[in-house]
Amino acid sequence: MTPDSELLRRYAGTQSEEAFAELVRRHLDLVYSAALRQVNGDTHLAQDVAQTVFTDLARKAASLSRRATLTGWLYTSAHFAAAKIARTENRRRDREEIFMREPISETAPELDWQKLRPTLDEVMHELKEADREAILLRYFENRAFAEIGGKLGLNENAARMRVERALEKLRAVFLRRGVAATTALASVISANAIQLAPANLAATVTTASLAAAGTGTFTFLKIMTATKLKFAIGTVVVAAVATAFVLLNQAQKNLRAENELLRHQIAQLQTDNESLSNRLAVAANSKSLSDEQFNELLKLRGEVTRLCQQQKVLPVIAQLKTNNSSSAQIIQIHLKARFISFPTDGLQALGVSWASGAQGGKTGLLTEQQFKIINQALQGASDVETLAEPEAVMSNGRQTEMRATQLVSVSGEPVEVGPTIDVVPHFLTNSSTFNLTLIATLVQLTGDPSKPGAQTIQAVNQVNLSPGQTVVLENEIPSGGWLPDSTNMSAGHRSLLVFVTPTAVDEAGNRIIFPPTNQ
């Protein structure tokens, strides 16, 4: 069976709908069941939670593809999403002064499950992530110990021992809450924790998540063959999609004119889409949309989003073609970042010529050889910790965000803890230089580990650098903070080092070499 990480990489790299649909199929029952318990059996709210979680998965596919298994992340995301939706729903009911509802009909569960169900998900999130992951794999997904060991990097016996220890911790937490968990705790959870999601929910969640994330790859042929709506917008959508693909391949002399045409077509499409929404609202009074019609509406709206994004990139492409004939192919920028926790008193030994940053901290530029030497020195050092190594490919001039965070409950609210970097990269073909606007952020935990707070540090700057160079940002990490599973964050005065290396590449991912300019 293809690992979750491979499916996520395939989706992040090629926007493969099949890979994402397989991830939804594998994990939908887990997410739906966790949500269902927390929204008091409301199936509609549980479906909303599932869609929210998988939409978030689609948006964060690149950063999450480094995880060996998605089970723990999806379970935690479902917990926070369900809590947020439940709070919103309660406020809505209070405002509308609706205090009565029909009881949901369900079969009478076993006595032990009736006691465990209301607090199971809260108790699970009192465990450490490793213990929670072991219980999810064994008793929620009912996987064999050998398979659990393979996912966690353990042998079968070690996996069995981890699961048993985690189960004992879970039983102890239940006891502290006054719930007498019996010796049959494992079998009760295995038999009741997962309920089958509605038959058509996987297809709906896949389609809606991809559309909401703005990454659906609905081709010309799919739109022509799949549409079921009886409204006259099909011709406009097909024309817009066809025009977008033609624009990307035409010569410079027609690019600006066709870009203007696309802008008018998008405006017309948005007008038709609003008209369609109004007609659907009227039709809803007499007849609700079928699942196929609803899915198709989401597809079309996702296509509008994609075309709008595409239209924003076209002026950049036109400018690149005007500036330099060597940029006739579409230029993309590959960014590789590295977040390092480093002893502050060792900064001088790195040999970096530091300059003050735009908003505090320091900035330095490294040649390719300097970066290699520093990189070799950092590898294997006991007092150096690599926090994350995100990388991404984006269009020239388009803002992107790379993150290596995880959700942690802080004061009852979900907070993304860990490092992120926001970058707006430009490659200037007339001077063969990169211009980068960088915002590197580290969110870490503070205070009592049982009730942690959160603190944020940032390193901000705008730099110009030549191909092959690396920019490094430095900012001191406040004392007393830590990251989940971190080993060095609280060991003396430490600094956050963020290395960013840009490379100009073509559509196939090959590095573009520009001739030196005469200045």
In this structure, are residues 389 and 339 in contact, taking their beta carbons and an 8 Å threshold?
Answer: yes
Are residues 50 and 88 located together in one domain of the fold? Answer: yes
Q: Is the pLDDT of residue 71 over 70?
A: yes
211 falls within a domain: no
163 falls within a domain: yes
What is the tally of structural domains in the chain?
3
Task: Band the pLDDT of 296: cuts 50, 70, 90.
Answer: low
- What's the confidence (pLDDT) of residue 502? 92
What does the pLDDT average to over 292-312? 61
3-state secondary structure 162-186: HHHHHHHHHHHHHHHCCCCCCCCHH
203 falls within a domain: no
Q: Is the pLDDT of residue 251 over 50?
A: no
Are residues 58 and 95 located together in one domain of the fold? Answer: yes
- What's the confidence (pLDDT) of residue 394? 82
- What's the confidence (pLDDT) of residue 491? 57
**Paired tokens of 478:** 């406040």
What does the pLDDT average to over 188-192? 80
- What's the confidence (pLDDT) of residue 98? 39
Are residues 283 and 358 located together in one domain of the fold? Answer: no
Q: Is the pLDDT of residue 52 over 80?
A: yes
- What's the confidence (pLDDT) of residue 315? 54
Please choose, from the candidates 41, 31, 2, the residue with its C-alpha nearest in 3D space to the C-alpha of residue 141.
31
Task: Band the pLDDT of 494: cuts 50, 70, 90.
Answer: confident
What does the pLDDT average to over 433-452? 85
Are residues 315 and 408 located together in one domain of the fold? Answer: no
Summarize pLDDT for 76-119 with one digit per residue, the tens: 998 998 888 888 777 766 655 533 344 443 443 444 677 778 88
Are residues 363 and 247 located together in one domain of the fold? Answer: no
Q: Is the pLDDT of residue 312 over 60?
A: no
CA 353 – CA 349 distance, rounded (Å): 11
Question: Is the pLDDT higher at 166 or at 198?
Answer: 166
198 falls within a domain: no
Q: Which residue, of 259, 288, 323, is where some domain finishes?
A: 323
Question: Is the pLDDT higher at 69 or at 234?
Answer: 69
Summarize pLDDT for 379-414 with one digit per residue, the tens: 767 788 888 888 888 888 888 888 878 888 888 778
Are residues 359 and 474 located together in one domain of the fold? Answer: yes
517 falls within a domain: no
- What's the confidence (pLDDT) of residue 432? 79
- What's the confidence (pLDDT) of residue 323? 44
Any idea which of 190-194, 231-235, 418-422 has the lowest mean pLDDT?
A: 231-235
Hey, how many other C-beta atoms are within 10 angstroms of the C-beta on 321? 18
Are residues 348 and 496 located together in one domain of the fold? Answer: yes
Summarize pLDDT for 426-437 with one digit per residue, the tens: 888 777 788 888
Are residues 165 and 259 located together in one domain of the fold? Answer: no
Any idea which of 156-165, 275-284, 389-398 has the lowest mean pLDDT?
A: 275-284
Summarize pLDDT for 240-249 with one digit per residue, the tens: 444 444 444 4
Task: Band the pLDDT of 325: cuts 50, 70, 90.
Answer: very low
What does the pLDDT average to over 143-158? 86
201 falls within a domain: no
**Paired tokens of 433:** 């230089």
Task: Band the pLDDT of 139: cuts 50, 70, 90.
Answer: confident
Burial 79-117, CB ≥16 within 10 A → b, else e: bbbbbebbeebeeeeeeeeeeeeeeeeeeeeeebeebbb
What is the chain's mean pLDDT, rounded? 75
What does the pLDDT average to over 252-278? 65
Q: Is the pLDDT of residue 317 over 90?
A: no
Task: Band the pLDDT of 515: cuts 50, 70, 90.
Answer: low
**380 contacts: CB under 8 Å, gap ≥ 6:** none
In this structure, are residues 118 and 36 in contact, taking their beta carbons and an 8 Å threshold?
Answer: no
Q: Is the pLDDT of residue 471 over 90?
A: yes
278 falls within a domain: yes
CA 93 – CA 70 distance, rounded (Å): 34
**371 contacts: CB under 8 Å, gap ≥ 6:** 470, 499, 501
- Work out the percent of the chain whose per-residue pLDDT is above 70: 69
**15 contacts: CB under 8 Å, gap ≥ 6:** 215, 216, 217
249 falls within a domain: yes
Question: Among 220-224, 384-388, 498-502, which range has the highest average pLDDT?
Answer: 498-502
Are residues 390 and 488 located together in one domain of the fold? Answer: yes
- What's the confidence (pLDDT) of residue 375? 84
Are residues 44 and 179 located together in one domain of the fold? Answer: yes
What does the pLDDT average to over 414-422? 85
Are residues 145 and 256 located together in one domain of the fold? Answer: no
Cα–Cα distances (Å) from 311 to 46, 245, 304, 397, in that order, read 36, 11, 11, 13
- What's the confidence (pLDDT) of residue 320? 42
CA 495 – CA 478 distance, rounded (Å): 9
Q: Is the pLDDT of residue 489 over 70?
A: no
Q: Which residue, of 290, 323, 356, is where some domain finishes?
A: 323
Question: Among 219-223, 240-244, 416-420, 467-471, which range has the highest average pLDDT?
Answer: 467-471
What does the pLDDT average to over 43-59? 89
Helix, strand, or coil (residue 135): helix
List the domain range (segments joined by +) for residue 30.
Answer: 4-192
Q: Is the pLDDT of residue 367 over 90?
A: yes
Are residues 155 and 41 located together in one domain of the fold? Answer: yes
- What's the confidence (pLDDT) of residue 204? 76
Q: Which residue, of 272, 294, 323, is where some domain finishes?
A: 323
